[in-house]
Amino acid sequence: MNVTFEHPLALAILALALPFWWMSWRSVPVLGRWKAWGGLALRILVLLCLTVAVARPSIVRETDAMSVLVVADSSDSIPLALRTQAEKAVREAVARKERPEDRMGAVTVARDAVIAAMTANAGEVTLTGHVGDMQATDLAAGVRMALATQPGDTTARILLLSDGNQTAGSLEDAAALAKAAGVPIDVVPLEYQHNNEVLIESLRAPTRAREGQSIDLRISIRSQRPASGRILLWQNDEPIDLDAASDGLGYAVELQPGANLVTLPVVADGSGAQRFRAVFEPTESAMDSVQQNNTGAAVVFVGGTGRVLIIEPGGGAECNALATALRDGKIEVERAQPETVMGRGLAFIAGFDAVIIANLPRWSFDNEFDRGLHSYVHDLGGGLVMLGGPESFGAGGWLGSETEKTLPVKLDPPQTRQILRGALAM
């Protein structure tokens, strides 16, 4: 055990004890022996405390004992056979230790870090019995746990066993903590290769749809080699029959190496948030090494049956075909004239998903309706369609109105002078 000082030059402060002794010796005839020497003792005590505070001594205890803390990645991304092989290698290393004072602890980590062993007995080092969620990897939590469990009477090293695929935490920050504590980290990469692997990269669906609308679910599937199987689809945990001609519920697919895009048209039944989940099942288990990445999910917000208001001139038969087409698409259509709509107030149009103005001029509506139509689109998110005609757009006086601000086209195109390029030869 040795004593070291962080600032050894501060010990020179103790030299002030000589002037203090001289002052006390001169004051003996005046103060008396007990007061003079008592004052000297008090001054030296204060001087000693000041010197210790500035010099900052520390006790260094030397030891040859070593504690190795194993941080083992136990997430599902690492095959069980590889984790078992790593566990066997660690147990053999414990059994071969040369000094009895050396120790070995183990921490398994997936989403959370768990202490697996605190002693040096080889039989107690278990790296394959992780308890907890194994669908994620937080290596930083494992390093912090190892730092918290290191013994104080030995030096320590951390042995990290992982494939390096962390999904949570910051391993760089945890390594900085280990460096500040003087604990080195040794890394043993766990290398593996899946020769046959199929995974669902994404399931894409429209964000919103109306009830009864046909939507396309686009499934991106990546395969390393040619593979075959079927896709199963659930809507709110209820299976969907993707192929009525076959006995099963799945949709058969043939996958080529690389990215494969499969489009499944489905009907958005129900209302509210609808969760779709797709799962790929290979024809043979040997075609896919990891089954956990064969799932994709998406959420579609389904509204009720769409309602559209067509505002048209009196006796407007020109919108009959449009109204029929919308009703064939299972959209509720209501037709009205400007006087009727303005008589019911602005709250009336708020109950529709979209408003269609069919060849009507601006002077068919009052200013209040013009401002309300702008608020309906801008604030409520309603749809607006203006059909062209001799009484519509700029020709219908909509230029400068509040409704013009909601239209995606300019009603007053900028005038440009066009000069023809040419030459005249005489």
Based on the domain organization, do 203 and 129 belong to the same domain? no
Residue 402 domain flag:
yes
Residue 418 domain flag:
no
Tally of domains in the chain: 4
Based on the domain organization, do 158 and 218 belong to the same domain? no
Based on the domain organization, do 152 and 226 belong to the same domain? no
Tens place of pLDDT per residue across the chain (426 aa): 566 676 777 767 777 667 777 777 767 666 667 776 777 777 778 777 877 777 777 766 666 666 777 788 777 677 677 777 777 777 777 766 666 666 777 787 887 777 777 755 445 666 666 777 777 788 888 888 877 777 766 777 888 887 777 778 777 888 888 788 777 887 777 767 666 778 888 899 988 887 778 889 999 988 878 888 888 888 888 888 887 677 667 888 888 888 888 888 888 887 777 889 988 888 877 667 677 778 888 888 887 777 888 888 876 678 888 888 888 877 888 888 888 888 777 777 877 888 988 888 888 888 888 888 888 888 878 888 888 888 888 777 778 888 888 888 877 766 666 666 766 676
Residue 412 domain flag:
no
Q: What are phi and psi of 59, to 5 degrees?
A: -100, 120
Domain harbouring 97, CATH code:
3.40.50.410
- Last-in-domain residue among 242, 276, 303: 303
Based on the domain organization, do 86 and 159 belong to the same domain? yes
For strand 272-282 and strand 258-267, is the pairing parallel, antiparallel, or unpaired? unpaired
The dihedral built from the CA positions of residue 151, 109, 68 and 80, taken in this order, carries a sign that is positive
Based on the domain organization, do 266 and 284 belong to the same domain? yes
pTM higher than 0.75: no
Using CA atoms, how far residue 333 sits from 37, 96, 209, 329, in Å, is: 109, 83, 18, 10
Based on the domain organization, do 316 and 293 belong to the same domain? no
Domain harbouring 401, CATH code:
3.40.50
Based on the domain organization, do 204 and 166 belong to the same domain? no
- Last-in-domain residue among 38, 60, 82: 60
- Bridge partners of 291, per DSSP, are none
pLDDT value for 218: 92
Structural domain span for residue 275: 198-303
pLDDT value for 122: 44
Are residues 168 and 134 in contact, defined by beta-carbon separation less than 8 angstroms? no
- Last-in-domain residue among 303, 325, 346: 303
Based on the domain organization, do 275 and 387 belong to the same domain? no
Residue 425 domain flag:
no
